[in-house]
């Protein structure tokens, strides 16, 4: 349970932090600090369990039927890493409280900060590969938000975009790699995968999995050649750089390599891919760090170099090197974070991080300078500090590596060279900023920061010293727990002593120290501002080039493949649908013999003779005679309706009939605003148009013939075994209704229907909303011919009947109203046992309401009584949802129908069911939605601004 | 029976597709209406054609599955009819707004080089 709390605590804190006022700097810091500290304590408290049990697990079922669960797994290595993440987070929160200025919107900062912390802990503690990849991407996103924190700055936005592009691309590669790994191992569970090392390494897909996983790790850890994003990420606030880009997030890459070390390592491919990326990053990063002007730039390249060192160690395929790598992960986090904090303090107190302007700060800020000095010494690998220990182990590994000649010779030399660079840039970092003549033209007069701002840095430096002097008693047990959990029985013997006697590694260390000092002296004489040798190695330029090429390429591709024209898109849809149907036909034609047709009923044939003619007429008339086309399509609709009735589908026939009515009214109302086409039929149709018409005709012929013959083939074959018998047999026992179609709609598939009526409501409201700002075509703004001829006065709302020729029909439709209401309620109530139901009932009522409008006129009807269709929609949805929720009272799943059967005095025998409430909901919603859409369209004629141009014309 | 039914589907589909490919918005909306008739008929036909076998149970007798028409395609088509009305309404309003906005009833929003 505490494992789950470790992940949840930061996320909860993040949520709380997000909702605080912008100026609550102290409250935010307290909240974030408490969350981070509590997480740290939680992690630390698990140490005993880890020692006793080895691995702790926790899982929450998510989709058990798919075998997916949210699983957490903590072993020694994960414990050390989680503690690193949580403790470092606590320190950085404290530091950030003083670093962030009161003007900064801190809720955003602390919210994303804690979210990152939760995501990082998720990466570390995931017991499932897919879940790990998900948290991995979450850290990329959080990092993006944090780098772009000062989003008014161009460099921050660009740096954030670059970091996200590189790391998220790597994350995708990682996901693919994880999928392959899980596929080979047969499970995505980390425990299973860790056991399947031999299977995976022997598998044919091993190289692909390796390449993808390593790609993910290298991009995340800013390893060559993907290193370029890290220096640009330095646009982030310094606490972010200290936490994400030195101590934790960039370590996720090496964490993963170490995590999967038992699975992936031990092959030549691993050695060459991981080892060479590490070596190149180590040397190139250290070299480039020498020439940076920005303090954080030096630290960024140094981070690349140190992560390269760790990657190289991991790539060496030796258990001892793995121990050194884990050790260096911890050491690097301590000294690099404190150095970042020092850089941030200098920036904060002087207003600049430019090393050419800074100088002699030792006098103004002695404590900061001392702390930075010790941390930088650790970074350079000076004895008695923790950096020295892991660097010695690294040197030893390069010397004793079991490889062919040139590698045995080259590796120690490269390592010493990188050591020299490292000494030189550390020296430069300290000497340039803190020593020499005091700088004069600084933006602010430097002085020591508040004590609490120094405290985190001081604590880390203290840790460097302590580990450096008494390694076996401080870090020893933790390191043992961590490496044991990765290597298991094959954990090698190693000694954490400071003094191993005069041996080759020590010589290399001394050579690096001496060489570094000499190199710095040489560097001091140099005046040029460029980077010698590697000037042209600019990852950003390559990144920009690739990005531009990709976006122009995709634009070009889009131009070829995609049309913005709807007509072309529709054509493609039809053609693809045709092709999709034709494809199986070409494959197997064995079963495609046509049965001989039976003799049709002449009445049915006649019905469709008319129906088909109507359809063809619609197609012919729709361009110039819209009204005729509408009437003709209504004819086809009626034929369809009769067909439903003919073939035992009374519910469908009723629904089709009522929908047909409202559709025609709807389209008629729409036609009012669609101006007449005034191009006289052009006698000369261009050849291209002719050709296109023939093309469309043949496509239509193919489509019609295809669907028709498909229908014929299906119809002449016996029906397969489907799910229908279930519904027929269980409608009465389970659904308590005789009309099976209605039982399916409101009971068995009630959730679908609920979704459907929701869509109906949304569409109605959308139509209403669209019409509120509707601007019709200017040609259709003036009054219609009929309106002009009659030039009716404004309707008299007090009259008993509407004036004019509509008086008699008005009487009739008013008489119709109660009758129709009765009929609609009758349909609604009997729907469960006989044809009818909420849909039909609702449509009947809506039709009557519309009839009142048509005959009485909008103004006259609405002066009498107003239906509030939106209320009907809302009440309908509520009723349907309430019917669904009612099942919860009986602790049954949503939308389970409940029925009560009994007798009441006076009333007699009664059968009440939640299904009826559900159907009432459908009924009300259908009424509301239909009336809302039609009335909203009808109201357009009343709107004053539409008529203005017409009146202006009259004057 | 089946032949007429299939031919009806074919004719309505053909007319619908032809209209769907036309350049005028009103033609397309009519095409969609015809096409939805055809598709509803097609889905309905998946339950085969039965006469006088409405899926309304007779409570006095035990259920014999062969006695009733297939209720599943009917339930599917019933919701499709209602949703079809809603989408037609939405399309109509978009069509009218587009006519007012673009000054043309061409589906692409501009006359272009074609008619």
B9, B47, B88 member nearest A708 (Cβ): B9
Tokens of A930: 């239909």
Which H helix or E strand runs over A789?
Answer: helix A785-790
Distance CA A232, CA A542 (A): 14
- State yes or no: pLDDT of B98 exceeds 70: yes
pLDDT mean over A221-229 = 89
- State yes or no: pLDDT of A950 exceeds 70: no
Tokens of A860: 């006259």
CB atoms under 10 Å from CB of A831, counted, come to 29
Distance CA A872, CA A855 (A): 23
Tokens of A764: 């109605």
Give the pLDDT confidence of B1-50 residue by residue, as tens digits.
888 999 999 999 999 999 999 988 899 999 999 999 999 999 999 888 88
Domains of chain B: 1-50+69-102 (1.10.287)
pLDDT mean over A148-155 = 90
Q: What contacts B62, CB < 8 A, 6 or more positions away?
A: none
Give the pLDDT confidence of A746-790 residue by residue, as tens digits.
888 889 999 999 999 999 999 999 998 888 888 777 777 777 776
pLDDT bin (cut points 50, 70, 90) of residue A854 is confident
Distance CA A112, CA A118 (A): 10
Nearest to residue B55, comparing CAs of B44, B71, B78, B73? B71
**Taking CB atoms and an 8 Å cutoff, what residues of chain A touch B53?**
648
Q: How many Cβ pairs closer than 8 A exist between chain A and B?
A: 324
Give the predicted TM-score (pTM) of the model. 0.72
From A26's Cα to the closest Cα of chain B, the distance in A is 52
Chain length of chain B: 115
Tokens of A19: 């909702």
CB A107 within 8 A of CB A19: yes
* Cβ contact, residue pair A652, B88, below 8 Å: no
**Taking CB atoms and an 8 Å cutoff, what residues of chain A touch B95?**
670, 674
Domain locations in chain A as residue ranges: 1-263, 265-529, 649-654+737-785+805-947
CB A233 within 8 A of CB A284: no
Where do we find the tokens 């938000």? A145
Which H helix or E strand runs over A58?
Answer: strand A56-63
Distance CA A164, CA A157 (A): 11
- State yes or no: pLDDT of A442 exceeds 50: yes
Helices (H), A290-435: 295-315, 319-350, 366-380, 386-399, 405-434
Nearest to residue A930, comparing CAs of A751, A663, A671, A638? A663
The residues facing A61 across adjacent strands are A69
* Cβ contact, residue pair B3, A763, below 8 Å: no
Q: Check the CA dihedral B10-B11-B17-B20 and report its sign.
A: negative
**Taking CB atoms and an 8 Å cutoff, what residues of chain B touch A625?**
none
Tokens of A830: 């009997």
* Cβ contact, residue pair A652, B84, below 8 Å: no
| DSSP state letter for A593 | P
Of A21-30, A87-96, A754-763, the one with minimum mean pLDDT is A21-30
CB A397 within 8 A of CB A279: no
pLDDT mean over A909-917 = 81
- Contacts by A631-635 with C-beta closer than 8 Å and gap 24+? A633/B30, A633/B33, A633/B34, A634/A660, A634/A664, A635/A610, A635/A611
Distance CA A226, CA A165 (A): 11
3-state secondary structure of A59: strand
A670, A711, A749 member nearest B45 (Cβ): A711
3-state secondary structure of A220: helix
From B99's Cα to the closest Cα of chain A, the distance in A is 6
Give the pLDDT confidence of A920-938 residue by residue, as tens digits.
999 999 999 999 999 998 8
* Cβ contact, residue pair B15, A616, below 8 Å: yes
* Cβ contact, residue pair B105, A677, below 8 Å: yes
B15, B21, B114 member nearest A570 (Cβ): B21
**Taking CB atoms and an 8 Å cutoff, what residues of chain A touch B27?**
622-623
Higher model confidence: residue A510 or residue A595? Answer: A510
The residues facing A909 across adjacent strands are A903
**Taking CB atoms and an 8 Å cutoff, what residues of chain A touch B90?**
763, 766-767
| DSSP state letter for B106 | B
Q: What contacts A216, CB < 8 A, 6 or more positions away?
A: A136, A170, A171, A173, A174, A175, A177, A253, A256
Q: What contacts A721, CB < 8 A, 6 or more positions away?
A: none
Q: What contacts A536, CB < 8 A, 6 or more positions away?
A: none
Distance CA B55, CA A648 (A): 7
Name residues 626-665 of chain A within 8 A of B (Cβ).
626, 629-630, 633, 636-637, 639-640, 643-644, 646-652, 655-656, 659, 662-663
């Amino acid at each position: 349970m505490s494992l789950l709390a470790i992940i949840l605590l930061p996320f909860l804190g993040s949520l709380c932090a997000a909702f605080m006022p912008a100026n609550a700097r102290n409250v935010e810091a307290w909240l974030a600090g408490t969350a981070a500290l509590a997480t740290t304590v939680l992690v630390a408290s698990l140490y005993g369990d880890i020692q006793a049990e080895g691995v702790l697990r926790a899982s929450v079922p998510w989709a058990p039927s798919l075998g997916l669960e949210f699983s957490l797994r903590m072993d020694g290595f994960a414990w050390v890493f989680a503690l690193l993440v949580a403790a470092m987070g606590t320190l950085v929160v404290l530091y950030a409280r003083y670093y962030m200025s009161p003007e900064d919107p801190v809720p955003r900062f602390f919210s994303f900060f804690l979210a990152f912390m939760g995501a990082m802990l998720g990466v570390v503690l995931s017991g499932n590969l897919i879940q790990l990849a998900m948290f991995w991407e979450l850290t990329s996103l959080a990092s993006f938000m944090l780098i772009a924190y000062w989003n008014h700055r161009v460099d921050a936005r660009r740096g954030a975009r670059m970091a996200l592009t590189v790391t998220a691309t790597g994350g995708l590669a990682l996901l693919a790699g994880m999928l392959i790994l899980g596929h080979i191992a047969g499970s995505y569970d980390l425990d299973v995968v860790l056991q399947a090392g031999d299977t995976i390494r022997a598998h044919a897909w091993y190289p692909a999995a390796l390449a993808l996983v390593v790609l993910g790790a290298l991009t995340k850890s800013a390893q060559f050649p993907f290193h370029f994003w890290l220096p640009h990420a330095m646009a982030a606030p310094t606490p972010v750089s200290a936490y994400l880009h030195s101590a934790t997030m960039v370590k996720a890459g090496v964490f993963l390599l170490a995590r999967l070390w038992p699975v992936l390592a031990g092959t030549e491919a691993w050695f060459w891919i991981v080892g060479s990326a590490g070596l190149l990053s180590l040397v190139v990063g250290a070299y480039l760090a020498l020439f940076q002007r920005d303090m954080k730039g030096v630290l960024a390249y140094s981070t690349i170099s140190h992560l390269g060192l760790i990657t190289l160690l991991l790539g060496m395929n030796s258990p001892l090197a793995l121990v050194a790598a884990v050790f260096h992960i911890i050491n690097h986090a301590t000294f690099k974070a404190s150095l970042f904090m020092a850089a941030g303090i200098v920036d904060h107190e002087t207003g600049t991080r430019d090393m050419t302007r800074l100088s002699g700060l030792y006098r103004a800020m002695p404590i900061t300078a001392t702390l930075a000095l010790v941390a930088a010494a650790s970074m350079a690998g000076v004895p008695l500090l923790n950096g020295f220990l892991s660097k010695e182990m690294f040197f030893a590994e390069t010397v004793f590596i079991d490889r062919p000649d040139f590698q045995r010779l080259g590796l120690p030399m490269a390592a010493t060279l990188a050591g020299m660079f490292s000494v030189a840039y550390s020296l430069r970092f300290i000497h340039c900023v803190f020593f020499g003549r005091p700088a004069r033209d600084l933006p602010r007069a430097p002085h020591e920061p508040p004590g609490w701002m120094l405290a985190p840095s001081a604590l880390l430096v203290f840790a460097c010293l302590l580990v450096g002097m008494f390694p076996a008693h401080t870090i020893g047990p933790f390191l043992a727990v961590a490496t044991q959990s990765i290597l298991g029985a094959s954990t090698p013997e190693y000694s954490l002593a400071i003094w191993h006697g005069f041996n080759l590694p020590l010589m290399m260390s001394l050579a690096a120290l001496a060489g570094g000092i000499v190199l710095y002296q040489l560097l001091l004489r140099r005046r040029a501002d460029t980077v010698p040798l590697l000037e042209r190695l600019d990852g950003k330029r390559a990144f920009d080039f690739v990005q531009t090429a990709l976006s122009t390429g995709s634009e070009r591709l889009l131009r070829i493949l995609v049309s913005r024209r709807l007509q072309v898109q529709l054509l493609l849809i039809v053609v693809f649908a045709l092709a999709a149907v034709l494809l199986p036909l070409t494959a197997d034609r064995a079963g495609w013999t046509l049965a001989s047709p039976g003799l049709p009923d002449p009445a049915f044939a006649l019905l469709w003779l008319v129906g088909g003619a109507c359809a063809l007429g619609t197609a012919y008339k729709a361009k110039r005679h819209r009204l005729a086309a509408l009437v003709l399509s209504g004819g086809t609709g009626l034929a369809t309706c009769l067909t439903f009735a003919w073939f035992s589908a009374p519910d469908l026939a009723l629904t089709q009939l009522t929908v047909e009515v409202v559709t025609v009214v709807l389209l008629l109302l729409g036609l009012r605003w669609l101006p007449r086409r005034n191009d006289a039929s052009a006698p000369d149709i261009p050849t291209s148009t002719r050709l296109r018409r023939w093309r469309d005709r043949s496509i239509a012929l193919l489509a019609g013939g295809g669907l028709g013959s498909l229908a014929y083939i299906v119809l002449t074959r016996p029906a397969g075994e489907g799910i229908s018998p279930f519904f027929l047999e269980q409608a009465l026992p389970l659904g308590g209704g005789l009309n099976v179609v209605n039982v399916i709609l409101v009971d068995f598939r009630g959730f679908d229907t609920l979704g459907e009526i929701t869509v109906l409501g949304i569409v109605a409201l959308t139509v209403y909303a669209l019409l509120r700002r509707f601007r019709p075509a200017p040609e259709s703004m003036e009054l219609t011919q009929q309106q002009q001829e009659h030039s009716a006065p404004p309707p008299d709302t007090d009259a008993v009947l509407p004036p004019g020729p509509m008086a008699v029909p008005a009487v009739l439709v008013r008489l119709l109203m109660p009758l129709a209401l009765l009929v609609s309620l009758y349909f609604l109530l009997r729907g469960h046992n006989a044809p009818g139901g909420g849909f039909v009932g609702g449509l009947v009522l809506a039709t009557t309401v519309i009839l009142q409008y048509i005959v009485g006129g909008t103004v006259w009807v609405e002066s009498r009584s107003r239906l509030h269709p939106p209320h009907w929609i809302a009440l309908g949805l509520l009723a349907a949802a309430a019917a669904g929720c009612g099942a919860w009272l009986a602790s049954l799943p949503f939308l389970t129908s409940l029925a009560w059967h009994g007798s009441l005095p006076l009333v007699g025998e009664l059968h009440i069911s939640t299904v009826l409430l559900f159907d009432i909901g459908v009924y009300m919603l259908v009424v509301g939605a239909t009336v809302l859409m039609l009335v909203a369209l009808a109201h357009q004629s009343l709107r004053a601004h539409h008529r203005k141009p017409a009146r202006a014309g009259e004057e | 029976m089946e032949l007429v039914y299939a031919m009806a589907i074919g004719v309505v589909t053909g007319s619908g597709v032809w209209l769907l490919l036309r350049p005028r918005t009103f033609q397309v909306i009519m095409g969609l209406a015809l096409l939805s008739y055809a598709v509803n008929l097609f889905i309905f036909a998946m339950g085969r054609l039965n006469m006088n076998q409405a899926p309304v149970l007779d409570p006095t007798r035990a259920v014999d599955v062969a006695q009733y028409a297939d209720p599943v395609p009917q339930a599917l088509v019933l919701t499709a009819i209602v949703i079809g009305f809603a989408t037609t309404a939405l399309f109509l309003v978009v069509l009218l707004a587009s006519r007012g906005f673009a000054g043309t009833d061409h589906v692409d929003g501009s006359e272009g080089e074609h008619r």
